Amino acid sequence: MSAQNPISAAWRLDFGATVEADGSVRFRVWAPHAATIDVKITAPNPGRTRLIKSDDVFEGTVDGIGPGSDYVHVINGLTERPDPVSRWQPYGVHGPSRIVDPAAFTWTDERWKGLPLEDYVFYELHVGTFTDEGTFDGVIQRLPHLRDLGITAIEIMPVAEFPGGRNWGYDGVDFYAPQSTYGGPEGLRRLVDACHREGLAVVIDVVYNHVGPEGNYLSAFAPFFSTKYRTPWGDAINYDDADSDGVRRFVIENALYWITEFHCDALRLDAIHGIFDNSAKHLLQELSEAVHAQAKALGRSCFVIAESDLNDVRVINPVSAGGYAVDAQWSDDFHHALHVLLTENRRGYLSDFGRMDDLRKALAEGFVYDGCWSAHRRRRHGSSSRERPSWQFVVFNQNHDQIANGSGGNRLSTLISFERQKLAAAVLLCAPNLPMLFMGQEYGETAPFLYFTSHSDPELAEAVRRGRAEEFVSFKWNREFADPQDEGTFHQSKLDWALPQRPRHAALLALHRDLLQLRRDSPSLHCCRKDLTRVEASESKRWLSMERRAANGSSTLCLYNFADRAARAPVALGGRRLLLAIWTGDTRYGTEAGTTPPLQVLDGSVNHVVLPPETAVIYTSHS
């Protein structure tokens, strides 16, 4: 297959190093910038073979080597570089690549067909700080905790090989090589296989808007970057300039690689507003179509989820409506609306939020900014998502970015009261969208989540340190600046797995479990239909009422009080009878005894409910 051929549904990775049936290894590399390419075997049996060029693709077969052999490509007889489609970089971003036979792994998930997207309850985690081990195998040890909590999908921050061993993953440079310090490709396969045994889907965070600055050798092979556009990370990836077909293939095949060779269930696309493409068919549409076709060929469900601050409904609209057919996207507006109500922090982009109606609109429609004026941007922003189903929005009240960048590393557990933490959990987990927790949130982890790196280039390390320090000062965060290059910054960000055994943390964990159990068992909470969701709010009294119904007639009434005093929220039951299911102020959730509980039963004689301060009250009925 040449660099320009379209992706087939019967796809397999055809570039990089491929172990053939006869034991030989075939090498293929797209390299229009090169005149010659040799593959140099560095271990265990050194040798060098000239690859044959045809249509900018260099190809050749080498005998006497196999899985475990290390190699580099020699460009124009002089420059040694790792394979741009390396499956493994055991010595890091600057070292040789290693030959891997993906067929050698024994999978046990043959019955796994994936989950419907509507069933996803996400748990975002960073492999390096999720456990003391900081590896894929370390994550496996905690999967029973996540299963019992009610999580259905883990979302792993980027794992493409990055410099050193401490990084968020957004500095990845080897798109096809799972991070060596995490356990490499076999470690990731073990993790995905274990997740499927536990009934958990796996979402991989992929970065197609930029490439990290250290170990980025792609330009030695091909025109991977374009000066037509500028991103916060430098030149944009070349998706629509000269020779861009090969770049698009490289990225789309990478998406197919994760779902095919690693059995992943979904991809989260980082910051798609940094993907610039004026082609007639946008990269996002082409990628979504390829993923869906390959999923069908594999007999599984696979999804594409975007991170976007564009509030552009085209991203999630079907192709028939002029969209890109991305399955879902993160909902920053939900986070911002809820975060400001909880913290009163209006720094930067949060200055556009702070009204109860913002949260109401986020729950009822999706985008808060849907073409209306944004004071922060000083222009109109967004388009209406009113017609898109609620399950197309992934909602959260914390994530890696909003903690480290939006709150200076401070988690909500250190910013708001314990009662407000429980209120936030109830709003999130009863939303008519797809909820996501950030690791440790379920028990109120107090360790910060900070930005950390381990660049080996002193000038680059200093530039990163200086840039983060300037940003930190400008936001005036209420903590000391943490040097990204300091190993202590990384260790500060690790979870403390002793906390869930302490009383207050255990109580918060119990609330999360009960809320997720209620969501799973209640048809009205599991349903994501906007036409069966009604949301009202009082700006002056600071309460919000959300009624969610199911097609079978059952319903759930969620009442939230954001005020520090009791509030009277009106209810209209229409002859229905509802029972108290969860009250966040209950003593079993860590609240001290003495607070007057809300009504246990609502019927036709009740026209309002008195809500204790900073609590959520949830009532349910059955058909």
* Three-state secondary structure readout of 363-381: HHCCCCCCCEEECCCCEEE
Residue 540 included in any domain: yes
* Cis bond before residue 44 (omega within 30° of 0): yes
| Residues 483 and 562 occupy one common structural domain | no
Q: Nearest to residue 216, comparing CAs of 97, 323, 111, 84?
A: 84
Q: Which residues are catalytic?
A: 270, 307
Tens digits of residue pLDDT in 515-525: 999 999 999 99
Tokens 């796809």 sit on residue = 11
Q: What is the H or E stretch that residue 129 is in?
A: helix 127-130
Residue 478 and residue 561 in one domain: no
Mean pLDDT for the stretch of residues 252-265: 98
In this prediction, residue 8 carries a pLDDT of: 53
- 460 pLDDT higher than 50: yes
Decide if 542 contacts 623 (C-beta within 8 A).
no
Angle at 465 (CA atoms; ends 236, 414), nearest 5 degrees: 100
172 and 254 in contact (C-beta within 8 Å)? Answer: no
pLDDT of residue 202: 98
CATH number where 539 lies: 2.60.40.1180
Mean pLDDT along residues 1-17: 67
Look at the chain and report how many structural domains it folds into: 2
Task: Identify any residues that bridge with 226 across adjacent strands, giving them in sequence order.
Answer: 236
> Confidence class of residue 43 from pLDDT cuts 50, 70 and 90?
very high
Q: Tokens for 311, please give them.
A: 């509030």
Domain hosting residue 469, numbered range: 450-492
- Going by their DSSP bridges, the two strands 37-43 and 70-75 should be labelled as antiparallel
Give this prediction's pTM: 0.97
Of the residues 492, 509, 542, the one at which a domain ends: 492
**Which of the pair, 412 or 574, is modelled with greater confidence?**
412
- Residue-wise pLDDT tens digits, 433-443: 999 999 999 99
Question: Helices 418-429 and 503-521 sit at what angle, rounded to 10 degrees?
Answer: 20
Measure the CA–CA gap between 533 and 519, rounded to whole angstroms: 15
Same domain, 533 and 605: yes
Q: What is the pLDDT of residues 496-544, one digit of tens each?
A: 999 999 999 999 999 999 999 999 999 999 999 999 999 999 999 999 9
**Residues 488 and 547 occupy one common structural domain:** no
* Structural domain includes residue 422: no
Same domain (yes/no): 544, 615: yes
**What token pair was written down for 92?**
């890091």
Residue finishing a domain among 467, 492, 517: 492
pLDDT band at 576 (very low <50, low <70, confident <90, very high): confident
Kindly state the percentage of the chain with pLDDT values over 70: 98
Measured CA to CA in angstroms, residue 368 lies from 74, 305, 371, 496, 572 at distances of 52, 19, 9, 36, 26
CB proximity list for 106: less than 8 A, separation 6 or greater: none
Mean pLDDT, rounded, for 472-493: 88
Lowest mean pLDDT among 6-15, 121-130, 200-209: 6-15
Q: Are 533 and 474 within one domain?
A: no
Rg of the chain on CA atoms, in Å = 25
- State residue 2's pLDDT score: 40
Q: What is the pLDDT of residue 5?
A: 43
Is residue 7 pLDDT above 80, yes or no?
no
Same domain, 540 and 611: yes
Q: Is the pLDDT of residue 301 over 60?
A: yes
State whether 595 and 536 are in the same domain. yes
549 and 616 within one domain = yes
| pLDDT score at 575 | 79
Helical segments of 522-618, H only:
523-526
Can you read off the two tokens belonging to residue 554? 């059952």
Mean pLDDT computed over 564-583:
93
pLDDT digits (tens, 9 = 90+) for 206-246: 999 999 999 999 999 999 999 999 888 888 999 999 999 99
Judge whether residue 395 has pLDDT over 50.
Answer: yes
- Specify if 39 maps to a domain: no
Give residue 4's pLDDT.
43
Residue 144 located in a structural domain: no
The angle formed by the CA atoms of residues 227, 230 and 233, to the nearest 5 degrees, is 115
Show the CA angle centred on residue 511, arms to residues 508 and 515, nearest 5°. 145
The pair phi, psi for residue 595, each rounded to 5°, is -75, 135
pLDDT, position 605 = 84
Predicted pLDDT of residue 612: 95
In this structure, is residue 205 part of a structural domain? no
Write down the pLDDT at residue 6: 46
* Residue 254 CB neighbour total at 10 angstroms: 18
Q: Which residues contact 243 (CB under 8 A, 6 or more apart)?
A: 32, 222, 223
Are 611 and 550 in a shared domain? yes
Residue 558 parent element (H or E):
strand 555-561
Cα–Cα distance between 342 and 331 in angstroms, integer?
Answer: 17
Find the mean pLDDT for residues 166-174: 98
Residue 515 domain flag = no
Are 616 and 397 in contact by the 8 Å Cβ rule? The answer is no
- Which range, of 135-144, 391-400, 599-608, averages the lowest pLDDT? 599-608
The average pLDDT across 305-331 equals 98
Does some domain include residue 185? no
| Torsion sign (Cα): 100, 103, 105, 108 | positive
**Is position 290 within any domain?**
no
Confidence of residue 623 (pLDDT cuts 50, 70, 90): low
| DSSP symbol at 405 | T
